[in-house]
């Protein structure tokens, strides 16, 4: 099997972004000017305060060029910037907490009615996990027919479509809840995720003596007609990186409470959706 290299993963994430996201480019010039100016002023202030040298400037240039060459802009931005965009976007929500989407979502996963088993290999490694819960409105009304779009990595930390040799929709699915908003999804517990160390993002992490880990997590997009879609993640207590996620995307409200059952675990989580704006 070929390796999940940074460049191959980055190329896939870059391709996904350009295919899936509609970038309008209609930001008014005044707004572009304001934001670009303020970001540049922050760069100037950093250079002056820390007396940045030509060697350091050239290292930055080389690194920026490499991020693009590796296709790692989706990874770098989602790891180091998206969490603040999400904080601002969802500041006024009353319902469940959201967190970052990250670079590895793929729209159009296979659809299932609850109870569902996510697509997985016959010999899929990992702890069996049953994930269930209910989707409700902020006033407590059950949202029958809500959609739970879930994706996560395998027991080795690899995502289908972004690492080679994994079936296209492995551990990805769109599950429709029943008429009382309840859903049940059978899958395996994902492993912690390490950012590829052989690309530009890995290089700056190493150069700064940071670590490259995200705690184990499930990714979700939960939606229902007349309600705001929430993009979120759920985490497992005891993970060594819950308190220092490289992507700063853990929130206490997103922690699961797994109960051992049989040879696996049972996790329950309810989603509360805000009314459409």
DSSP state of 254: G
Q: What is the Cα Rg of the chain in Å? A: 20
Query: Using CB under 6 A, which of the segments 30-38, 101-109, 122-130, 267-275 binds ligand MBD?
Result: 101-109
Least distance from C-beta 152 to ligand MBD, angstroms? Answer: 8
Query: Using CB under 6 A, which of the segments 65-73, 102-110, 165-173, 202-210 binds ligand MBD?
Result: 102-110
For the chain, give percent helix, strand, coil, nearest 5.
Answer: 30, 25, 45
Tokens of 42: 């922050």
The nearer residue to ligand MBD, 151 or 183, going by C-beta atoms, is: 151
Tokens of 194: 């390490």
The nearer residue to ligand MBD, 131 or 193, going by C-beta atoms, is: 193
79 binds, among ligand MBD, Fe ion, none (CB under 5 to 8 A by kind): ligand MBD
Q: Which of residues 128-187 bind ligand MBD (CB under 6 A)?
A: none
Angle between helical axes of 73-80 and 6-20 (0-180°, round to 10): 80
- Give the interface with Fe ion as residue ranges (CB under 5 A): 102
100 binds, among ligand MBD, Fe ion, none (CB under 5 to 8 A by kind): ligand MBD
- Spatial separation of the C-alpha atoms in residues 258 and 163, rounded to whole Å: 28
Least distance from C-beta 176 to Fe ion, angstroms? Answer: 23
Q: Which of residues 202-261 bind ligand MBD (CB under 6 A)?
A: 214, 247, 249
User: Does the protein bind ligand MBD through residue 269 (CB under 6 A)?
Assistant: no
Other Cβ atoms less than 10 A from the Cβ of 81: the count is 13
103 binds, among Fe ion, ligand MBD, none (CB under 5 to 8 A by kind): ligand MBD
- Spatial separation of the C-alpha atoms in residues 160 and 186, rounded to whole Å: 17
User: Does the protein bind ligand MBD through residue 104 (CB under 6 A)?
Assistant: yes
78 binds, among Fe ion, ligand MBD, none (CB under 5 to 8 A by kind): ligand MBD
Q: What is the 3-state secondary structure (H, E, C) of 141-181?
A: CECCCCEEEEECCCCCCCCECCECCCCCCCCEEEEECCCCC
């Amino acid at each position: 099997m070929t390796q999940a290299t940074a460049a191959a993963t980055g190329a896939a994430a870059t391709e996904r972004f350009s295919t899936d996201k509609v970038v309008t480019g209609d930001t008014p010039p005044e707004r572009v000017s304001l934001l670009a100016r303020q970001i540049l002023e922050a760069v100037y202030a950093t250079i002056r305060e820390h007396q940045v040298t030509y060697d350091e400037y050239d290292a930055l240039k080389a690194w920026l060029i490499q991020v693009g060459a590796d296709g790692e802009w989706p990874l770098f931005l989602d790891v180091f910037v998206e969490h603040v965009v999400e904080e601002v976007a969802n500041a006024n929500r009353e319902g469940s907490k959201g967190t970052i989407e990250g670079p590895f979502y793929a729209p159009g996963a296979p659809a299932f009615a609850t109870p569902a088993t996510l697509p997985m290999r016959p010999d899929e490694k990992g702890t069996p996990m049953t994930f269930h819960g209910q989707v409700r409105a902020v006033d407590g009304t059950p949202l029958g027919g809500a959609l739970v779009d879930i994706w996560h990595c395998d027991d080795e930390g690899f995502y289908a479509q972004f690492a080679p040799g994994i079936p296209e929709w492995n551990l990805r699915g769109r599950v429709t809840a029943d008429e009382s908003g309840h859903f049940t999804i059978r899958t395996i517990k994902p492993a912690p995720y390490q950012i590829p160390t052989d690309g530009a993002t890995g290089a700056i992490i190493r150069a700064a003596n940071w670590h490259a880990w995200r705690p184990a997590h499930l990714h979700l997009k939960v939606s229902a007609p007349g309600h705001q879609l929430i993009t979120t993640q759920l985490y497992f207590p005891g993970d060594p990186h819950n308190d220092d996620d490289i992507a700063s995307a853990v929130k206490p409200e997103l922690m699961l409470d797994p109960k051992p059952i049989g040879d696996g675990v049972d996790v329950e989580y309810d989603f509360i959706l805000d009314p459409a704006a």
